[in-house]
Structure 1
Amino acid sequence: MPAVAITLSSYKETDQNLLDGVLEDILPLLVKEGSSLDIIIVEKIHSVDYLDYVLGKLYSGTRETLLAEDLYDTPINVLFNQDLSSYVDKKWDLLITDKNEVVQLPHKELRKVRLLKEVNEHERQDSSKDDPLYMVSALGGTFDHLHDGHKILLSAAAFLTVSRLIIGVTDQELLQKKQFREQLEPYETRSGNVRSFLSRIKPSLKVEIVALRDVCGPTGAVPEIESLIVSRETVSGGQIVNNARRSKGLKELKVHVVNVLGGKEEDGWKEKISSTELRRRCSLK
Structure 2
Amino acid sequence: MKHHEKLLIVCSFDSVGTQMLDQKLEEYLQTNQEEIILYLKRTPITHLKVYERILFHLYEKAQNYPTKFNVIFDLFNTQFKNTYQFTVNLDYGEEINIQTKQNQQIQKIQFSQEGPLANQFKRGANGGTFDHLHIGHKILLSLSLLAVNEHLTIGITGEVLLQKKKLTGFLQSYETRCKCVKEFCQLFRPDIELNFSELIDPAGPTKNGQFEVLIATQETQNSLDYINNLRKEGGLNELEGYIIGIIENSNNQGDVKLSSSQIRGQIQEKNRLSEQEYLELKSEWLSVSDNLYWFESILVDYYSQPQRYYHTLRHIYDMLQQLKGAKNMKNAKLATFFHDAIYYPRNNDNEEKSILLFQQYAKDCNIDSQLISTFILQTKSHQTDVSFLPEDDLQDLMVFLDADMSILESDAYTVYANDIRKEYSHFPDKDYKSGRIAVLQKFLKSKIFNLRSEEKARKNIQEEIEMLQNWVVAQ
1:245 partner amino acid? R
Provide closer, same or farther for how the CA distance between residues 190 and 132 of structure 1 changes in structure 2, counting only shifts above 3 A.
closer
Residue 143 of structure 1: aligned partner: 130
Q: Secondary structure at the match of 1:20?
A: helix
Provide closer, same or farther for how the CA distance between residues 272 and 75 of structure 1 changes in structure 2, counting only shifts above 3 A.
same
1:276 and 1:149 mapped to 2: Cα distance? Answer: 13
Q: Within the alignment, does 1:36 sit opposite 2:23 as a pair?
A: no
1:29 and 1:234 mapped to 2: Cα distance? Answer: 34
Q: Secondary structure at the match of 2:62?
A: helix
Q: Give the number of the structure whose residues are more often strand, by fraction.
A: 1
1:226 and 1:99 mapped to 2: Cα distance? Answer: 36
Which one of 243, 246, 265 corresponds to residue 257 of structure 1? 243
Q: Secondary structure at the match of 2:18?
A: helix
Residue 79 of structure 1: aligned partner: 72
1:201 and 1:37 mapped to 2: Cα distance? Answer: 13
Q: Tell me which moved more, 4-13 or 156-165.
A: 4-13
Which one of 215, 224, 233 corresponds to residue 238 of structure 1? 224
Q: Secondary structure at the match of 2:258?
A: coil
2:94 and 2:15 mapped to 1: Cα distance? Answer: 16
1:246 partner amino acid? K
Residue 291 of structure 2: aligned partner: none
Provide closer, same or farther for how the CA distance between residues 283 and 100 of structure 1 changes in structure 2, counting only shifts above 3 A.
farther
Q: What TM-score comes out, normalization by structure 1 length?
A: 0.79
2:87 partner amino acid? D
Residue 104 of structure 1: aligned partner: none
1:197 and 1:14 mapped to 2: Cα distance? Answer: 24
1:238 and 1:29 mapped to 2: Cα distance? Answer: 40
Residue 194 of structure 1: aligned partner: 181
Residue 50 of structure 2: aligned partner: 50
Cα shift at 1:63: 2.5
Provide closer, same or farther for how the CA distance between residues 211 and 93 of structure 1 changes in structure 2, counting only shifts above 3 A.
same
Q: Give the number of the structure whose residues are more often helix, by fraction.
A: 2
Deviation digits for residues 32-51 of structure 1 (CA, Å, limit 9, x no counterpart): xxx11111111314211100
1:43 partner amino acid? R
1:79 partner amino acid? I
What is the alpha-carbon root mean square deviation over aligned residues?
2.6
1:99 and 1:154 mapped to 2: Cα distance? Answer: 26
Q: How many residues align?
A: 247
Provide closer, same or farther for how the CA distance between residues 167 and 83 of structure 1 changes in structure 2, counting only shifts above 3 A.
closer
1:61 and 1:143 mapped to 2: Cα distance? Answer: 21
1:206 and 1:270 mapped to 2: Cα distance? Answer: 35
What are the within-5 Å matches in structure 2 for residues 172-191 of structure 1? 172-191=159-178
1:173 and 1:83 mapped to 2: Cα distance? Answer: 36
Residue 113 of structure 1: aligned partner: none
2:197 and 2:8 mapped to 1: Cα distance? Answer: 32
> Please, which runs of 5 or more residues in structure 1 have no aligned partner?
102-124
Cα shift at 1:85: 4.2
Residue 169 of structure 1: aligned partner: 156
1:176 and 1:19 mapped to 2: Cα distance? Answer: 41
> Please, which runs of 5 or more residues in structure 2 have no aligned partner?
96-109, 272-475
Deviation digits for residues 127-172 of structure 1 (CA, Å, limit 9, x no counterpart): 8494561111111110000110001111111011111111110002
Kept in 2: contact 1:11–1:54 (CA 8 A) = no
Provide closer, same or farther for how the CA distance between residues 134 and 100 of structure 1 changes in structure 2, counting only shifts above 3 A.
closer
Q: Which has the higher contact order (CA 8 A, sep 6+)?
A: 1
Percent identical among aligned pairs is 28
Q: Secondary structure at the match of 1:225?
A: coil
Cα shift at 1:233: 1.5
Residue 211 of structure 1: aligned partner: 198
Residue 23 of structure 1: aligned partner: 26
Q: Secondary structure at the match of 2:31?
A: helix
Kept in 2: contact 1:22–1:100 (CA 8 A) = no
Q: Secondary structure at the match of 1:63?
A: coil
Kept in 2: contact 1:149–1:260 (CA 8 A) = yes
1:228 and 1:6 mapped to 2: Cα distance? Answer: 32
Which one of 135, 145, 150 corresponds to residue 158 of structure 1? 145
2:30 and 2:118 mapped to 1: Cα distance? Answer: 37
Kept in 1: contact 2:203–2:227 (CA 8 A) = yes
Kept in 2: contact 1:51–1:156 (CA 8 A) = yes
Kept in 2: contact 1:136–1:162 (CA 8 A) = yes
Q: What TM-score comes out, normalization by structure 2 length?
A: 0.48
Provide closer, same or farther for how the CA distance between residues 6 and 132 of structure 1 changes in structure 2, counting only shifts above 3 A.
closer
Q: Tell me which moved more, 50-59 or 92-101.
A: 92-101
1:87 partner amino acid? K
Which one of 233, 237, 241 corresponds to residue 247 of structure 1? 233
2:215 partner amino acid? I
Which one of 245, 251, 256 corresponds to residue 271 of structure 1? 256
Kept in 2: contact 1:3–1:94 (CA 8 A) = yes
